[in-house]
Structure formats: structure tokens, C-alpha cells
Amino acid sequence: MVLAVLLAASCQRLEPRRPIQAHTGSWIEGSVKRNMALLQKEEAQIQQIIAKDTLAPYQMSEDGFWYRISVANPKEQYRPQPEDIVKIEYTMYTLEGKSIYAPIQHSYKVDKEQLFPGLRAGVKLLKAGETGEFLLPSFMGYGYHGDEKKIGSNTPIKLRLTIFEVLKHQ
């Protein structure tokens, strides 16, 4: 008898519990709209800087930031590739030109270390002996979180980057 009750109970069809609240895509849609508005605002700031700067023309990168090479090295042809080690120095500024951090020297294994996106992309645009200036929207800098020290949330930055040496991966 007990066996029959257990057998009948186990044959009942189990239904999964349903969530109490159903979420829609409205939060994501709102986030996308906020991020697009933020990007437009930052791009407008960057375009104003570019319009005022007459030293050299800026180019737009495939990654969504603007840059120019302020010190070129026409003798060098090779640009850093993944796994190469580059010896670099970079300085970060606000878009208004106020220094955020003093120059930082670093040896970096291309695409293998955690650096902010604009720096990782910028290294691959320069050659040994070159210096570039980069105008980075916040998504190419430290994004929503900032660096939790001197760079706040959603802060676009200006980056000055010099590559001293490129050690090619064997």
C-alpha cells in the first residue's frame, strides 16, 4: 500500500516554479540610451578640443577614439604585435589638460596584460621612437567605475604615450 502511494506520488508531473516578478528589457533599453547620450556628450567635448588644436590633425581609430602622432619615427616600420614586449611611458590628463598622473614607465606584453582599453589599443598604433596623443572617451579609459583613485566614473581622458623599444616575440 505504501509502495503504491509513493509510486503514484512520483508519477505526478512536476512544474517549475515561476518567478514572482517578470523583468522586461526596459532597464537595458534605458541603459543603452544613457550610454549613447554620454558618448555623444564626450565626443562633442573631444571634437571641440580637436577644432581648437592646430598642431597636427587627429585621426579616428577603429576602436572609437582620436589620436595623432606628435613625434614620428619614419625609419621604423614595425608596429607592436601581440606577445611583443614594449617599453613605454604614458601620462594621463583630463580633456582640459590637467595632469591626473605623473609619467608612468612600464614594460608591457602586448595584449597579455590588464591595462585600460585605450592604452592597449594605442600601443599598437605607434612604432618604437614615436609619441602619440590620444583623446579617449570614457569607455576606452576606465569606464563606469573609474580607477577608484584619481579618475572618476565616466571620465574621458587624454593620454600621451611614448614607445621607447619593441622587443619582438620569438
pLDDT along the chain (170 residues), means of 10: 56 67 72 90 94 88 95 96 96 95 95 93 97 97 92 95 95
Q: Return the pLDDT at 2.
A: 57
Does residue 7 form part of some domain? no
Name the residue with cell 616600420.
77
pLDDT reported for residue 165: 97
The answer to whether residue 50 sits within a structural domain is no
**Range(s) of the domain holding residue 111:** 56-170
pLDDT of the residue at 90: 97
Is residue 38, in this structure, part of any structural domain at all?
no
**Residue 40, in any domain of the structure:** no
Tell me what pLDDT residue 53 has: 85
Task: Annotate 105-139 with DSSP letters as a single string.
Answer: EEEEETTTS---HHHHHHHTT--TT-EEEEEE-GG
The number of domains in the chain is 1
CATH number of domain containing 131:
3.10.50.40
Q: State how far the Cα of 8 lies from the Cα of 126, in Å rounded to an integer.
A: 73
> Looking at residue 59, what is its pLDDT?
95
Question: How much is the pLDDT for 103?
Answer: 96
